[in-house]
Chain A
Amino acid sequence: MLNIVVAVGFMAGLGLILATVLVIANRRLFVYEDPKIDEVEDLLPHSNCGACGTAGCRVFAEKLVVGELQPGACTVNSAEMNQIIANYLGVELGSQEAQVARLACAGGSNVAQRYGDYRGVESCRAAALVAGGGKGCAWGCLGLADCERVCDFDAIIMDRHDLPQVIDDLCTACGDCVDICPRDLFSLQPASHRLWVACKNLEKGDLAEAECVVACNGCGRCAADAPGELVTMVNNLAVIDYSQNTHASRVAIERCPTGAIVWLEGGVHKGQEAVKIVRKEALPLK
């Protein structure tokens, strides 16, 4: 009997002591955290993509609550959800122009020459380290889908010519594809930038066209026609100055002989003079 009493008493005493320690610790070590942070975080998409410029959704939520950022900076969330957050916090929605990842290459397997057959690790990074992966154009897309794999939002799919296609509605502009591409072909562009040079080839004339049917051959017609300094030729490549984007129109694409400069509006539009691509299957090894 006594044993039981001693045991129960000992355990009760121990419990009491530990409880006291916990109570003191709770008081002394308490860190106040705004409950709004948890609430806001729950309203965010939890994708931790970093498109807003912070390390993840939690950090973004903290910055929203203290007012350093505005809900509109999250491009992954729907506009309604961001509005709910703005209403909850009583702040302006703010806006960030939606950006999308754009690929500066149109050289699919049906138009771009290959000199060698790459066999090895299925990765553009690995291929780029082995003699450039066998593609004739030293600047073009290698088509081994590093970007498709790295995209958390399934916004990039490889088409049948081994060229990545970005689905604008799914793209959150997180920048993962920009970082992974060994040839720096992706960049984040505001959706309002319609005029786009889908090429990075620095060769000129026939040398460029021998490597890829849709390469920019540096003829400079687009630059000659362009209002102001909208399009300039830099190292045999057309470069668009987006600070003058208001001047951009379909005129710029009209005289491009290869269709390297395109107009993006509900699809890819090429000029009238651009070569027509009829070939569907991949080009043979050269």
Chain B
Amino acid sequence: MLNALFSSRSFKHGVHPPDFKALTSGLPIRRLPFADKLIVPLSQHTGKPSIPLVKPGQEVVRGEPIAEADGFFSVPQHAPATGRIENIRLMPSARGPKIESIILQVYGGSTQQEMYEYRHDVDAMNTDEIIQAVQNSGMVGLGGAAFPTHVKMKPPPEHRVDTLVANGCECEPYLTCDHRIMLEQPDRLIKGIRLFMRALGVERAVIGVEDNKMDAVRVIQKHLEPNDTISVMDVPTKYPQGAEKMLIQSVLGRRVPPGQLPSSVGVGVFNVGTLAQSGELLPLGRGVIERVVTVSGPGVERPGNYLVPVGTPVRFLLEHAGTTADAKEVILGGPMMGMTVSALDVPVTKAMSGMVVFEHDQENHQGPELPCIRCGYCLSACPMQLNPSMLGMLATSSDYETMASDYHLNDCFECGSCTYVCPSNIPLVQYFRIAKSVNRDMAAKA
């Protein structure tokens, strides 16, 4: 009893931003038409870029592999539509640098049937075969990390994984794509989890869902067998509950040591979107060619959860969802950790979970930056229990080395909670990102 009172079933600290999820959480996933031109970047994932398999002018069918993985830390790419390869050249990406991309001219008259298929009997496959099949499907962390999924399925040999955690928290405001996937595709999700459990050799799986999505919890529970090895657990709604390390602590009470992988405490964490798509794609041997994207925010006329082919330009997506006259700022991902785009010609990538559009009057809602008053709000917000205030002061004096060596800068995963609570409007997380980028460059030069 006392135990139940005092164990909070959550991580310490964090923040409670308004979630605005009601805008889209009730809207079913809808398919978006194909754009005239799709841009498939060869590097939508962490790791080595893929190697193109096609030539300009070549015709491809929907689902066909158009680029192969370059080694283990890479994934292949598949044609998101039937059409003709127009060119392979540098194209703008959401992150800024131009990256090699395959430009696909979509055949307007095509039925866009998925012609490419390579059926597997997944029940007869062993661990290595499943991992290979996951790599062949081009799967990456669909929650936003873009880390190749098959790499996570092969933890270092000294780590023994005993539990799979399915991440259905979706703690970012506005985003509801994972919520809808859990509601609409629970069978695929459970199929994916069982497959991944077999590949990892684990006996137990927990689906962690924030308690603002109890409808999803109930739907999944209905699909589970009695005494199932898979269980659903509601965790308190709190940002950043969906961060890997936070969720492990909330669900299992285990703490991942700084700088370590979740597998060091015997856990493998996968996003529910990744698992649901894998459950669908792996038996068919197909690749990731589309994903659910939440388009929301005050600047959008018809917010919704859209099933979008990978490579669709952001501009096309916005034209279909409609933007208000005052729409001004477009953020890919959620408003907390997402990335503002500078050009609308960038494509939707595999890891892009949402798009939030803000209006004119909402930009720069923060006032001018004021001096730190040492109130300590950021300390009680930081989920990694760092000292953002001290880090911020070191950043102002450009002492980036000390930040990393004495104040654990590299444990910061840039959730932005410190910046969110700072009453002095200090852009702390931006400073930390500058510091990390300088440190990275210096390490690369040394």
Interface residues of A (CB under 8 A from B): 115-116, 118-121, 123, 125-126, 128-136, 138, 150, 179-180, 182, 202-203
Name the contact of B95 in the complex, choosing from A119, A132, A150 (C-beta under 8 A): A132
Whether B434 contacts A179 by the Cβ 8 Å rule is no
Whether B97 contacts A138 by the Cβ 8 Å rule is yes
Name the contact of A116 in the complex, choosing from B98, B342, B433, B437 (C-beta under 8 A): B342
Instruction: List chain A residues, Cβ under 8 A from B434.
Output: 121, 123, 125-126, 129
B341: Cβ under 8 A from any A Cβ? yes
Interface residues of B (CB under 8 A from A): 90, 92, 94-98, 339-343, 346, 363-364, 398, 427, 430-431, 433-434, 437-438, 441-442, 445
Whether B438 contacts A130 by the Cβ 8 Å rule is no
Cα A125 to Cα B92 in complex, Å, equals 18
Whether B342 contacts A131 by the Cβ 8 Å rule is yes
Contacts A121-B431, A123-B434, A180-B438 given: A128-B96 contact, CB under 8 Å?
yes
Whether B342 contacts A133 by the Cβ 8 Å rule is yes
Whether A126 contacts B445 by the Cβ 8 Å rule is no
Cα A128 to Cα B94 in complex, Å, equals 11
Contacts A138-B92, A138-B96, A202-B90 given: A132-B342 contact, CB under 8 Å?
yes
Instruction: List chain A residues, Cβ under 8 A from B94.
Output: 131
Count CB-based A-B contacts (< 8 Å): 70
Whether B430 contacts A116 by the Cβ 8 Å rule is no
Whether A126 contacts B364 by the Cβ 8 Å rule is no
Q: Tell me, rounded to whole Å, the shortest Cβ–Cβ distance linking A56 to chain B.
A: 16
Instruction: List chain B residues, Cβ under 8 A from A131.
Output: 94-96, 339-343, 346
Q: Tell me, rounded to whole Å, the shortest Cβ–Cβ distance linking B71 to chain A.
A: 23
Contacts A131-B94, A203-B90 given: A119-B364 contact, CB under 8 Å?
yes
Instruction: List chain B residues, Cβ under 8 A from A123.
Output: 434
Complex A-B: 15 CB contacts under 8 Å? A115-B343, A116-B342, A119-B363, A125-B433, A125-B434, A128-B96, A131-B95, A131-B96, A131-B343, A132-B92, A132-B97, A133-B342, A138-B96, A182-B441, A203-B90
Name the contact of B445 in the complex, choosing from A116, A128, A134, A179 (C-beta under 8 A): A179
- Pick the 10 closest A-B CB pairs, nearest first: A132-B96, A116-B342, A134-B342, A115-B343, A125-B434, A131-B342, A138-B98, A121-B430, A131-B341, A126-B430
Whether A179 contacts B442 by the Cβ 8 Å rule is yes
Instruction: List chain A residues, Cβ under 8 A from B431.
Output: 121
Cα A180 to Cα B398 in complex, Å, equals 11
Q: Tell me, rounded to whole Å, the shortest Cβ–Cβ distance linking A152 to chain B.
A: 12
Cα A136 to Cα B343 in complex, Å, equals 8
Whether A120 contacts B438 by the Cβ 8 Å rule is no
Cα A118 to Cα B430 in complex, Å, equals 14
Interface centre among B94, B96, B98, B442 (most CB of A within 10 A): B96
Whether B343 contacts A130 by the Cβ 8 Å rule is no
Instruction: List chain B residues, Cβ under 8 A from A121.
Output: 427, 430-431, 434
Specify the chain A residue showing the minimal Cβ separation from B436: A129
Cα A132 to Cα B363 in complex, Å, equals 19
Instruction: List chain A residues, Cβ under 8 A from B97.
Output: 132, 138
Instruction: List chain B residues, Cβ under 8 A from A134.
Output: 342
Whether B96 contacts A133 by the Cβ 8 Å rule is yes
Instruction: List chain B residues, Cβ under 8 A from A132.
Output: 92, 95-97, 342
Specify the chain A residue showing the minimal Cβ separation from B97: A138
Q: Tell me, rounded to whole Å, the shortest Cβ–Cβ distance linking A236 to chain B.
A: 10
Instruction: List chain A residues, Cβ under 8 A from B95.
Output: 131-132
Cα A116 to Cα B340 in complex, Å, equals 10
Instruction: List chain A residues, Cβ under 8 A from B430.
Output: 120-121, 126, 129
Cα A131 to Cα B430 in complex, Å, equals 13
Instruction: List chain B residues, Cβ under 8 A from A128.
Output: 96, 437
Cα A116 to Cα B341 in complex, Å, equals 8
Q: Tell me, rounded to whole Å, the shortest Cβ–Cβ distance linking A226 to chain B.
A: 26
Cα A138 to Cα B346 in complex, Å, equals 13
Q: Tell me, rounded to whole Å, the shortest Cβ–Cβ distance linking B345 to chain A.
A: 8
Cα A30 to Cα B387 in complex, Å, equals 43
Whether A125 contacts B437 by the Cβ 8 Å rule is yes
Q: Tell me, rounded to whole Å, the shortest Cβ–Cβ distance linking A286 to chain B.
A: 9
Q: Add 13 more A-B contacts to A119-B363, A125-B438 (CB < 8 A).
A: A115-B343, A116-B340, A116-B343, A125-B434, A125-B437, A129-B434, A131-B346, A132-B95, A132-B96, A150-B398, A179-B441, A182-B441, A203-B98
Specify the chain A residue showing the minimal Cβ separation from B434: A125
Interface centre among B339, B434, B438, B445 (most CB of A within 10 A): B434
Instruction: List chain A residues, Cβ under 8 A from B441.
Output: 179, 182
Cα A47 to Cα B342 in complex, Å, equals 40
Whether B340 contacts A126 by the Cβ 8 Å rule is no
